Structure formats: structure tokens, C-alpha cells
Amino acid sequence: MGMTAKEVLAMVREQGVQVVDLRFMDFPGLWQHFSIPGERLDEEAFEKGLGFDGSSIRGWQSINESDMIVKPVAETAFIDPFFQAKTLVMMCNICDPITGEDYTRDPRNIARKAEAYLRGTGLADTAYFGPEAEFFIFDDIRFDQNEHEGYYHLDSVEGRWNTGRVENPNLGYKIRYKEGYFPCPPMDKQQDIRSEMMLTLESVGVEVEAQHHEVATGGQAEIDMAFSPLVAMADKLLKYKYVIKNVATQHNKTVTFMPKPIFNDNGSGMHVHISLWKGATNLFAGDGYAGLSQPALHAIGGILQHAPALLAFTNPTTNSYKRLVPGYEAPVNLAYSRRNRSAACRIPMYSTSPKAKRIEFRCPDPSCNPYLAFSALLMAAIDGIVNKIDPGEPLDKDIYDLPPEELAKVPTTPGSLREALQALEADHAFLLKGDVFTEDVIRTWIEYKMKNEVAALDLRPHPYEFVLYSDI
């Protein structure tokens, strides 16, 4: 268990904390913060919260009802490893200042409601999540889009495209496309920075299992965290992104969690491992296919059935669908398998222990808001268990060897963010159970994404269109 409010206040005094930084998640999925002097933190701040203007937060209140309250969550407290002044960070829940109720569009509140709904069903006590978030560490990232030009430029000392660059001297060792998993230094130039990221994560309470280079050239990396319950894991993923970005910045590098920044090489996914437990019993372990229980297979059925709608939360950017393209390694096939990595649901077979039995949803990417993505995944799994949704037959054959008529029977993920949002509009009743998501949250999400991302991209010429059409 984490600290209590009294213990946090004692820590502020004893450790000479000068600044308290209060953090919360905006609707699309970026961490926000403001700070107060350390001595201003008292018990009342935990009980009644502190006010701020919610009208400028993306997807939140309109200007005429802008006042909001943040309530610090004592158990999330940690000392920030980056600021000059001794700073204690706490994550916050968002409340309405008049009713005092939790704000329905606060992503962390939605995740808390998802955990409560699971317990209320009596199916399980705890949903464990283990995300594997990949990212790129670049030396340079430039982009612009205006009325007469549009471009991006990425660079990395590791990038294969730099084999001929004058570097005075160029020492070679540029990772070949799709061969970054995972040769030793000097080919891998980021061991030290990844180790620093890993050790910094451990110092702020995020348990790490491994760090390594990933498949793509140009600095793709992965650091794997130990699994945790839903809300705690979403909290950790925010700390994860924060630590990784700031360690990179200290080394004059930049990190992006964009799913597909580099053409013709692997994108960054975030495979998510899920298991449901009652007490000390893993409810997903059994004697069925790949050592799964019947509830686990039904959970897969729910996830696969609702996958097109789920992707509106787990793959919520237009760029997400540059990664999820059929014919590559991407998990676009809405099927399950114990070994086929192009299937949306995989059952890891590394361990025979019942405690390790879980299902892995391979579609998500790290651009998602983890509170919303994990909550939606849990709701789909619960729906599958409650309604005994049959996942069909496993897809254990090599997808590339399937005859076309057999492949045509395997449903695939949506081809664009627009398609995923349309699927969510048509299929979201399972998310409304227990008032976890609300009609307002679903509608606001769809409207926000359609207006600010889908339509915004539709309006702008793409650089590659000039390659295709400028001579017409």
C-alpha cells in the first residue's frame, strides 16, 4: 500500500520538500500539472482539494463552468528526479466544485470506476495489466505544416540512412532496417541512456523487468514494466513516459511514442497483457487451449468482438493506422493464437506456471490514454465472460501461407481512425455498464478526435501526394 495523507505531510516536513507538483490527465492523454509551495499542503488539500480552471484542458469543461477541483492521491506520491527544487509529485482525481462528485470526463475516474465495476460483478477482485510500450529515441525531430509546405525530418546517429553522412569521422555501425533486435554495442548506441531510464524509473517506484533495443533502426527501444492493477498500471505508464522523455532531454535527445514515425521499418506498439484474479487465484489459468480457462477464452471472445470499437481508445491517432497495415508483422487479424504474432490476441507460452497465464492484446500502441484504453479493454473482457462470447477457432497457421479464401474469413482491424470511431459509435453499450464510460464521454471522444485529428488531416495535402500527382 502507498502512503496516507498524514505520511505524505510528514514526508514533506522531514525531507524538506519545497514544492508540491499536482498532476492529472487531460482527456486525449497528456499529463498536466501545476505546483504549490510545500508548506501550503495540508490535510484540507487532501479532503477538499484545490481549485483550478478546467476550461483550457482539452476535451473538458466549457468556459461558463470552468472551475474544477483537484484532489491529491496520497498513495501516488513520489519525489521528482528532475527538478532543481525538492519536489514531491502526486497524481490527482478531478471533482466538481459544487457537487463534490468525481468528474465524469476525468480519465483516472473512468479507470477507478472500471475497477469498481469488476468487483461489483463478483467475477474477480483484480484486473492485472502489463503494457510493453515501445518508443524511438531521436537526435533531431523537425516538422512543419502550413499553407504552402508540409514536411518532417527525423535523425538518429543509429539511422541506417546515415551510412554515407560526413560525421568526421563516420564510424559506421548504423543498424540495418528491421535488425535492431538486438545486437550489442557499438551497434546499439543507447545502452547507457536506456539503463539510466530504467534506474530512474525504479527510483520513482516503477518496477522494471528488462530494457532493450527494439527492431527498428534509428533508436527504437523498449523498457518493460512489471504488471500491476489497472489504475496503478495506468499511473505507472504516465510516470514511464515522463521519465523516459526527461532522461532523453537531459542527454539532448528526444523521445516520441508516435506509433509509426519511420517509413519502411517497424512501428511502436504497446502489447497489453491482461489477467483477472480472485484472491490468490488466476482466473485465466485452466486446462483449455494454451492452458487457458473458459472465462479467459470468453474474455478473448469479448475483446475480439468489440475490437473495432476498442481501437478508438487503444489506437487513437491517425498515425496508429500506419502501423496496423495488413501484410506485415502488425497484429491486424482479429483472431487468437498461442504463437502467431499477427493475431490480435496472443497467449504467451514462456511459462507453464498458472500464475503467469494471461492473454496479450497486441493491437494497442503507446499513443493511447492508458486510463481509457485499459478500462475499455477490461469492459470488453467482462462482456465476453458475462455473455459467454465464443472466440472461435485459434489461428495457429502462418498467416502468410493461408489460401486467400481462408484469409478472407479472418476479420481485420479498422483501416483508419475514422473507421475505429465509427465502430465505437455503433458499438459502445458494453462500455456504459456500471456507468464506467458515459454517453457524454463517448460522444465527446468521437467529436474531439473527428474534428481535431481526422478532419484536420483530411484538409491538408500530404507530401507523398506530390510524388504521385504533381505531374498530372
Q: Which of 134, 158, 188, 196 is catalytic?
A: 134
Q: Which of 26, 222, 224, 235 is catalytic?
A: 222
Whether cis (ω within 30° of 0) applies to the bond prior to 182 is yes
**Torsion from C-alpha of 298, 304, 307, 310, nearest 10 degrees:** 20
Active site residue 443: no
Q: How far apart are the first and last CA of the chain?
A: 65
DSSP 3-state of 263: coil
Task: Identify the residue whose cell numbers are 509546405.
Answer: 149
Q: Which of 341, 443, 460, 462 is catalytic?
A: 341
> Any bridge partners for residue 412, and if so which?
333
Q: Which of 105, 271, 323, 428 is catalytic?
A: 271
Active site residue 13: no
Active site residue 53: yes
Angle among Cα 187, 240, 341 to the nearest 5 degrees reads 65
Q: Which of 106, 158, 214, 453 is catalytic?
A: 214
**Inter-residue contact 373 to 364 (CB < 8 Å):** yes
Q: Which of 235, 360, 365, 383 is catalytic?
A: 360
Active site residue 271: yes
Angle (deg, nearest 10), helices 107-121 and 230-250 = 150
Active site residue 147: no
Active site residue 222: yes
- φ, ψ dihedrals at 342, nearest 5°: -90, -5
Rounded to an integer, what distance in angstroms lies between the CA atom of residue 214 and that of residue 180? Answer: 5
Active site residue 360: yes
Q: Which of 306, 323, 346, 362 is catalytic?
A: 362
Neighbours of 129 (CB within 10 A): 26
As to burial, measured by CB atoms within 10 angstroms (0-12 exposed, 13-18 middle, 19+ buried), residue 329 is middle
Q: Which of 53, 209, 390, 435 is catalytic?
A: 53
Angle (deg, nearest 10), helices 370-386 and 107-121 = 20
Q: Which of 80, 106, 115, 132 is catalytic?
A: 132
Active site residues: 53, 132, 134, 214, 222, 271, 341, 360, 362
